[in-house]
Every structure is written in structure tokens, then in C-alpha cells.
Structure 1
Amino acid sequence: MIALLLILVPLLSGIATFFIKKEQAARSWAMLAAVVTLAVSLLGLTVLNKANYLSFHATWLPELGSSFSVGLDGMGQLLCLLTSLAFPLVFLATWRRSYPNGHSFFGWMLLAQAGLMGVFLATDALLFYFFWELALVPMYFICSRWGGERRIPVTFKFFVYTFAGSVIMLVGLLYVYFSAGNSFAMHDFYAVRLTSKEQTFLFWMFFVAFAIKMPIFPFHTWQPDTYEQSPTAATMILSGVMVKMGLLGLLRWLLPVLPISSYAWGDVASGMAVTGIIYASLIAMRQDDMKRLIAYSSIAHIGLMCITIFSEHKTGLQGVMIQMFNHGINIIGLWIIVEIIERQFGTRKMSQLGGIAQKAPVMAIFFVIIAFANIALPLTNGFIGEFLMFNGILNSTVTKYGVLLTVLAGTGIILGAVYTLGMIRKTFYGEVNELTANARDLKWNESLALTIIVAIIIVLGIYPQPVLNLTNEITDTILKNADVLSIKK
């Protein structure tokens, strides 16, 4: 019931939003729908946290061996909570932002939420693919209609990249489907036994699709431009939530289904990810546009999670799951500040800013706390996830290059501190100029959104145990299905 409601509430609300012509009414309706979705997610974590409430199964396409099967495991609960938190935070923080044909904008946003929920909940491969595509379509319309001056070519590139990856993945899913006795059920996918040669080409079909979505080097080139040209509300969802689709794909559909090739090619994938970490961090250090800097920062963070997944270590995988949530919260916080700065000063270029902390001290405090979480300062949520991930990489028995990967990825963390602290210094400190002399501090809606984010940062930084408990069982399941030695026996 909970799993079904998490999809139906934003789906039906999104369709209804298209018929609400007044922008303010559509905005209020979208916020109400997002809050209801959040309430449903919290019920699934607390009062109704029982197996019979957390799953739903119905006949869908029996002749194809596919069913409408959705369910909440620990990873799904965490990602659905992130999704249900992200949308009300985005709507709240951008409450004063006006959009042409605003009712359509909010309708597409809610449909995107429904698609994301479906991806995180699907336990049927064809249903997973259906929602994977459904989540892409609203973002295409949002970015192409409400984006910046270069939105059309940039959105076209984004669509071509992601659609090409989706088609490749579909071919791989169909191959496994026939090998699994014409069944798309997740348990049948996990039970199928493929040869090493079969797993190798299937690995790259799956991995390329997921790597594009995350994205990691060299499949990342669509991301900085898309983040820059998209309306900031869409950028928040793209970077905070949508990139987690690729990480979930690795954990739920690649490692357990293709364990031999994941073991064989994991170091190659990790090498691509660590190259992306260093490359993106160095490029971020040269950026003047805050949006592009944060975009490259996201590539570095996702690269670390990708390396940890292929380490196949329990502590590391738990770190990935908690960091998927934490990264989403932290980067949405950064985007909210960027949205406020852009709306107030008409620019995102750090060279044109400076001294904002003198005029808007509350904004500066929020930004510093969120930025510290982004670079994994102790007592923030980012520290917990990254500590567990590095522990998993270093102690992995799957990779031969654990120490080298740890050192190189750690270099990315140092570079991350350099460009993040540089962004704080250039934007908020120094002398005020003509542009920032009349800076104002936060309005109530902006303060409320950022207060919620900072509260999550501090609480999870001090006491992450509930999240670790939530992910314990699903981590064991993933590693059991990905155990190459047991399969060879």
C-alpha cells in the first residue's frame, strides 16, 4: 500500500496540476501533494513499517512475464525518503520564483517525482525500465521550456545521452529476460546463471546506461551544461535525486545479476570513476560560475560512490547508501543558496560577488554549514558516509588496488575542500561591491528550507545509526547475490 501510494499521489496530483490555470494555486497544490507524499514516506518508515504494507503486486503484462511489483527495502526507503523530502524543499525554497505557464511546470515536476519513486520501488525489470523512462520525459520538458538561453541544444544533448543509454540497457534486460525463462521478476533475474562471456557484454550494456545517468567519466559531458541551463528547481532534482537512479541500478540490477563480470571489470569501472574524481575536481577549481562548480563537484562525489560499490564491502556499501541520501540533501542546500544569489544579484559568477556575509549573515552561516557537510567535515552527515566508504575501499578483498584507489579518491576530497572553501571566500567574504552592497538576508521560506537541511546535516552527523540499521539487511542481500565464490561452487 505504501509503495503504491508513493507513486500514485504525485502521479495523480501531477496530472491534476495541468488543469489548474492560476500559477499560485498550482504551486500550492504541488506543495500539498509533495507534503502528502512525504507523510506517506514517513508512515512507511514508522507506523506502517511492516512487509505487508511496504509492497504491492498486481497483474500487469502476464503474457510477457511482467507484473506491477513494487516494494520498499532499506535502500528503497532511504531513496524514497530523499525524493519525498526533496520536492517540498525545492517548492518551498523557490516559492517566490515565477514561471511562465507555471501550472505546467509544477505538473511536470510532480510527474518526475512519480517516475523517480517508481525507479526506486520497482522489483520487476520491465517496470523498472518503464519508470526509468518516465522520469526522463518530464525533465526534458522542464529543461527545454524553462531553461536558459542555450536550453534547446543542451537539453537535446541530455536527452540523446540518456535515451541512448536506456536503449542499450533495454537490450541487456531483454537478454537476461530470455535467459531467466521469459520472466522480468527481480528474483528470477537474480537466479539466472550466465557464462562469463555473456556477463561481460551485458555488464557494459548495464554499466554504460547507469554511468550516463550518474554520471561518471567519460559519460559526464552532458551534465555541467544541463545543470547550468536548467531552471534551478530542476537542477536540484537532477543532481540531488535523479543521479541516484544510476547508483541504485548498480546496486540492484548490476552487482546481483552479473556478479562475475562485476568482479572482473570492477577495477576498470573504478578506474574510470577515480579519473572522473580528479578531473572534475581540477575543472571545478577553475570555474567562476557557481552552478558549474557545484556540477563538477557532484561528479566527484558520485565517482567515490561508484568506486565503493565495486569494492563490494559491507561497510562501504552501507556508506554508499547513507551517502546517497546525504549527498542529495547537501547539494540541494547548495543549490538553494545559488538560487537565492542568482535571483537577488542576477549573476552566479563569483568574480562579480563578494562580501555578502556582511549584509546577509544568516545566509552565510547556512552556506558555510552546508559547504562543510559537502566536504565531509566531522560532525556533519557527509563525514559519516565518506568515512564508511573509504573504509570499505581500503579493506576490500575484491579489488587489488584498494590502497591506490583510496589515495587517489582521497586526493579528490582535498581538492574538494580547496574549491569549496574558495567559493565561500569569493562569494561571502572580502569587501562588498556595488552589486552586493544592497544584499538582503533570507526570507522566511528560504530560512525554513535551509533550517530543515541543516538540521538533517547535524542530526545524521551525530547519530547515523538509524540509517545504518535501515540498510543492514539489503546490504547483506546484495553481497550474497554478488558473491562470485559461492556462485562458482
Structure 2
Amino acid sequence: MGLLSLAIWTPIFFGAVLLALGRDEHARAVRWLALLGAIISLLVTLPLYSGFDNATAAMQFVEKAPWIARFNVHYHLGLDGISFWFVPLTAFITVIVVIAGWEAITTRVNQYMGAFLILSGLMIGVFSALDGLLFYVFFEATLIPMYLIIGIWGGPNKIYAAFKFFLYTLLGSLLLLIALIYLYVHSGGSFDIQTWHDLPLARNAQTLLFFGFFAAFAVKVPMWPVHTWLPDVHVEAPTGGSAVLAAIMLKLGAYGFLRFSMPIAPDAAHEWAWLMVALSLIAVVYVGLVAMVQQDMKKLVAYSSVAHMGFVTLGFFIFNDLGVSGGLVQMIAHGFVSGAMFLCIGVLYDRVHSREIAAYGGVVNTMPKFAAFALLFAMANCGLPATAGFVGEWMVILGAVKANFWLGLLAATALIFGAAYTLWMYKRVYLGPVGNDHVKELEDINAREFLMLALLAIAVLAMGIYPKPFTDVMDVSVAELLKHVAVSKLN
């Protein structure tokens, strides 16, 4: 068993053990076992960084074994600079989510923790899969634990939100499956994704494949106008569910564009880039304006996620190194920042049981330590220099200006909207005199919550101050991808 298999199956193993052994009367032991499993799963991913060679665009840590021999399907794993950082990011966020749910979840604790650990392994599988069918299995399997997390531990309308999440993402994925089967037949019976990258495909076939991929990945990102499921799901999901959804699951769709849409259908990707850029800019500008009028904190951050992911898809489809690298950096940074924003909302919700902005006011007076963390994450969400939120957005804006000045200018306006809605929310919730008796009785964060927020704060600042380790890993792979996409595959 190689390092990638360990990264995938270690959290799944611990999750299965929790489901089999845990009971609510042993909740304390269950929580510690879940934390142990999450930490071990994170430690397993660390040797990947020390063993990764930045100088090559080839797949590394490759594992390949027959799976369904009759149809030439393989258990085929590997990482390159594009997919690398999402493996440790997923494991890190899982540790944070286990800590976050320590006291908030009191029923079916083993199932809650087990679902997150299994989900972690499945998401790492998506980023590691080099076989088309294996990718599809992992991609669809992630829906099951998240569906259960929303449907069991969610808010009053949790069943509606869980069904909406499941149906939206499943319907898009059916077109992905048809595209994968077409490629399997056209390649002479191979599910190898890298083989598909070199297929000579006619323009019509490329266009159909591009929109087949688009149906699955755009819903997952989610791009405008198929983003409407996200705010409902975020509002109803438990805090940990919202954090993982924003930090990792949205990235599965964006990753799909880089692994499938652009390299397999490069001519269609260039032909329809105007549409992708237009939809991205609508997400960045229009959805940013929608975020401004939200009264529910979770809805505001959910719309903020749609706007920030618009930067990612914009960066990818301007086809230059700054744009694609910036999009990838933005995906990682958004994982830290949006996860932190949702966890901060969870800290307040656990105490007051309201997500309405109007239910707060002057929180800084009773929770000064917490308000300091919340300010840092709010500034990162605005794209303040020296925070993770700045690096990716700045690279994408530079890449957009390189492609077209007016495109860059329009994208840059989003930073103004981002600052407006984030700081306005911070002002109304945290600043000023104490708003009501609920706020007056609040107690500052405990040691567990401090640890959870401190880990995220360190990640946000470290990435903002010194992003070189992140960009160094991806540079060669991004250059190779752009070189590949620049060459026509028309037969």
C-alpha cells in the first residue's frame, strides 16, 4: 500500500470503526478516537510533501493495480502539482471539523464523526484518481456522507436542503458519466485519464464532452446560475458540514475543469472560454451584490463563496500561467478562509442559536479573543495583503489584466464588494455597544475553540506571508497543462 492509498483508506478505516463500535454512552471515547483518526490521517499525508519533486510535471506516488479486469478498469492513483495540495488540505480541515463538533454534537456522535472521516478519504480519492471510472466512483460517493450529515444533524429544513444538494449534484454527474463512457469507447477501451488527454477528437465531440463535464463540475463549484442549491444547504447544514462543503467539496468541481475539461477538450475550452469568463464575472460581481443584502450570516458567507469561486474559474479560462496558478492558490486559500468563517458563525450559533445578524451587536465587548480571530478571517475574506485571501485573487487579477485590461478591472471591483459585505457584517455583529441580553451573557472562546481558530489563523497568515511553497509545487504542472491545451486536438 502506497502513500496515497494510506491517505485515502486511513480515514475511511477509522470512520468505519467509529460506525461499528461507537455508541452515545461512549461519546467521550468516540470523540477521542475520531480525533486520533483525523490526526493520523493528516500525518500520513506529510511525507507526500517531503517526497514531492517540484521539477517535473509527471504524476508522482503512482499506484496501479487491476480492479475490474474485464473492462480494463484500474485502481490507478497519482498526484501532480495541480492536485497535490488538496490532499493535505482535506486532511487538515477534517482535524479542524472533528475539534469543532466536540461539544456541539451530542446525539449519534459516532455516526457524525465517522461520516466526516469517510468523506475525507473519499475526497482525497477524487484528487488522486487517474482512472476515469475510479474518479467517478469517488466523486459520486462523496455525496452519501454529506447527504447524511445535512439530513441528520442539519437545521429545521434539513430534509429539503439534503434532497436539493443530492439531486442537483447527481443530475449534473449523469452527463459526466455519459462523457466518460464515450471516451472509454473512443479510446479503444481505456479509462486512463492521461490517455484521454491525447485523444484526437472532432470539434463537435469536444463541444459535447465539454458541456457534459460542465454539467457536473459547474454545479459542484457552483457557478452562476446553478449556484442556488448552495445557500440553502449552507443554512441548514451543521457547522462542520458547512466548513467541509465550502473548504473542500466545492473544489472538486473546479479541479474537474483542470483534469478533464481543459486537457481533453482543449479546442472546445478555447471556443467556449468567453462563456466561462462571462459566468465567472457574473458570479464575482452580481453574487457579491446579492451577498450585501443578506440578513443571515451563513447565507452571506455562502454567497461570498460563490463569488470567490468565480475568481477560480475566471483564472482557469484566461489560459495564462498567472491566471491558472492564481485560481489554484485561491482554491487552497478559500479552503482555509471560508472554513474559518463558517466555524466562527458556528461558535456564535452554539451560544445564541441564531444566525441572524440582527440578533447580535457588540460581541467584541464580551468575547474579545474571539472577535480578534473573526476580524482576521474577515480581513482575509476581503483579500487583505499578508493573508491567504489576497494571494490568489491578486494573481488572477494580474492574469486577467495580462489577457484584457477591462477584464482585470471588472474582476478587481469584486474586492470592493467583498470588503463591503464582509466588513459591514463584522461591524453589525461585533462592534458598537452590547446589542442585547444574549450578547451580554456570552462567554469568550474556551481552549478547544481557541486551538481550532488558532490553527486556521496560522494557516491563513502563513500562506499570505509566504505563498512560495504552494506556488512552487504547481508551477511546472500548470506550465505543462497550458502547453498541452495550446495544441489543437482536432483530427
Which bracket does the TM-score occupy, shorter chain normalised? over 0.9
For each residue in 1:37-68, what CA deviation from the matched residue of structure 2 results, as whole angstroms up to 9, or x when unmatched? Answer: 11111111125769997221111122212210
Q: Does 1:60 align with 2:67?
A: yes
Return the letter of the residue paired with 2:481: I
Q: Distance in 2 between matches of 1:142 and 1:3?
A: 26
How far has the Cα of 1:488 moved from its partner? 6.1
Pairs within 5 Å for 1:439-478: 439-478=442-481
Q: Tell me, what secondary structure is at the counterpart of 1:120?
A: helix
Pairs within 5 Å for 1:283-322: 283-322=290-329
Q: Does 1:75 align with 2:82?
A: yes
What fraction of aligned residue pairs are identical, expressed as a percent?
Answer: 33
Q: Tell me, what secondary structure is at the counterpart of 2:354?
A: coil
Question: In 2, are the aligned partners of 1:376 and 1:386 still within 8 Å (CA)?
Answer: yes
For each residue in 1:394-442, what CA deviation from the matched residue of structure 2 results, as whole angstroms up to 9, or x when unmatched? Answer: 213xxxxx33332222222211110000011000001102121112111
Please name the residue that 1:423 is paired with.
425
How far has the Cα of 1:309 moved from its partner? 0.5
Q: Distance in 1 between matches of 2:401 and 2:151?
A: 43
Q: Distance in 2 between matches of 1:205 and 1:405?
A: 27
2:149 to 127, 134, 142: 142
Please name the residue that 2:44 is paired with.
40
TM-score, scaled relative to structure 1:
0.96
Q: Distance in 2 between matches of 1:162 and 1:483?
A: 30
Q: Tell me, what secondary structure is at the counterpart of 1:252?
A: helix
Q: Distance in 1 between matches of 2:272 and 2:233?
A: 30
Q: Distance in 1 between matches of 2:112 and 2:41?
A: 18
Return the letter of the residue paired with 2:3: I
Question: In 2, are the aligned partners of 1:334 and 1:367 still within 8 Å (CA)?
Answer: yes
When structure 1 is superposed on structure 2, of 305-314 and 452-461 the one drifting more is 452-461
Please name the residue that 1:252 is paired with.
259
Return the letter of the residue paired with 1:135: T
Q: Does 1:480 align with 2:487?
A: no
Q: Tell me, what secondary structure is at the counterpart of 1:76?
A: coil
1:437 to 435, 440, 453: 440
When structure 1 is superposed on structure 2, of 216-225 and 380-389 the one drifting more is 380-389
Return the letter of the residue paired with 1:412: A
Pairs within 5 Å for 1:158-173: 158-173=165-180
Q: Distance in 2 between matches of 1:132 and 1:477?
A: 25
2:32 to 28, 43, 64: 28
Q: Distance in 2 between matches of 1:155 and 1:466?
A: 37
How far has the Cα of 1:5 moved from its partner? 0.5
Return the letter of the residue paired with 2:422: T
Q: Distance in 2 between matches of 1:189 and 1:99?
A: 48
Please name the residue that 1:346 is paired with.
353
Please name the residue that 2:279 is paired with.
272
Pairs within 5 Å for 1:12-23: 12-19=13-20, 20-21=22-23, 22-23=26-27
Q: Does 1:395 align with 2:402?
A: yes
For each residue in 1:268-322, what CA deviation from the matched residue of structure 2 results, as whole angstroms up to 9, or x when unmatched? Answer: 1111121122221111111111000000000000011101101111111111111
Q: Does 1:155 align with 2:157?
A: no
Question: In 2, are the aligned partners of 1:114 and 1:135 still within 8 Å (CA)?
Answer: no
Q: Distance in 2 between matches of 1:337 and 1:286?
A: 20
Pairs within 5 Å for 1:212-223: 212-223=219-230
CA RMSD of aligned residues (A): 1.6
How far has the Cα of 1:136 moved from its partner? 0.9
When structure 1 is superposed on structure 2, of 319-328 and 476-485 the one drifting more is 476-485
How far has the Cα of 1:120 moved from its partner? 0.5
Question: In 2, are the aligned partners of 1:13 and 1:110 still within 8 Å (CA)?
Answer: yes
Q: Distance in 1 between matches of 2:154 and 2:285?
A: 29
Question: In 2, are the aligned partners of 1:317 and 1:389 still within 8 Å (CA)?
Answer: yes
Question: In 2, are the aligned partners of 1:41 and 1:77 still within 8 Å (CA)?
Answer: no
For each residue in 1:112-137, what CA deviation from the matched residue of structure 2 results, as whole angstroms up to 9, or x when unmatched? Answer: 11110100000111110010011111
Please name the residue that 1:96 is paired with.
103
Q: Tell me, what secondary structure is at the counterpart of 2:65?
A: strand
How far has the Cα of 1:12 moved from its partner? 1.2
Q: Does 1:7 align with 2:11?
A: no
Q: Distance in 2 between matches of 1:484 and 1:274?
A: 27
Q: Distance in 1 between matches of 2:480 and 2:103?
A: 45
When structure 1 is superposed on structure 2, of 24-33 and 371-380 the one drifting more is 24-33
Question: In 1, are the aligned partners of 2:231 and 2:302 still within 8 Å (CA)?
Answer: yes
Q: Distance in 2 between matches of 1:180 and 1:109?
A: 36
Return the letter of the residue paired with 1:217: W
Question: In 2, are the aligned partners of 1:284 and 1:294 still within 8 Å (CA)?
Answer: yes
For each residue in 1:362-398, what CA deviation from the matched residue of structure 2 results, as whole angstroms up to 9, or x when unmatched? Answer: 11111111111111111111111111111112213xx
Question: In 2, are the aligned partners of 1:43 and 1:49 still within 8 Å (CA)?
Answer: no
Aligned residues: 483
Please name the residue that 1:399 is paired with.
none
Question: In 1, are the aligned partners of 2:59 and 2:79 still within 8 Å (CA)?
Answer: no
Question: In 2, are the aligned partners of 1:252 and 1:478 still within 8 Å (CA)?
Answer: no
Q: Does 1:196 align with 2:196?
A: no
User: What stretches of structure 2 of length at least 5 have no aligned partner?
Assistant: none
How far has the Cα of 1:157 moved from its partner? 1.2
Q: Tell me, what secondary structure is at the counterpart of 1:430?
A: coil
Please name the residue that 2:192 is paired with.
185
Question: In 2, are the aligned partners of 1:4 and 1:55 still within 8 Å (CA)?
Answer: no
Please name the residue that 2:182 is paired with.
175
Question: In 2, are the aligned partners of 1:289 and 1:348 still within 8 Å (CA)?
Answer: yes
Question: In 1, are the aligned partners of 2:200 and 2:490 still within 8 Å (CA)?
Answer: no
Question: In 1, are the aligned partners of 2:267 and 2:490 still within 8 Å (CA)?
Answer: no
Q: Distance in 2 between matches of 1:135 and 1:475?
A: 27
Q: Tell me, what secondary structure is at the counterpart of 1:395?
A: helix
User: What stretches of structure 1 of length at least 5 have no aligned partner?
Assistant: 397-401
Q: Distance in 2 between matches of 1:217 and 1:332?
A: 21
For each residue in 1:253-279, what CA deviation from the matched residue of structure 2 results, as whole angstroms up to 9, or x when unmatched? Answer: 110001000000011111112112222
Q: Distance in 2 between matches of 1:337 and 1:473?
A: 36
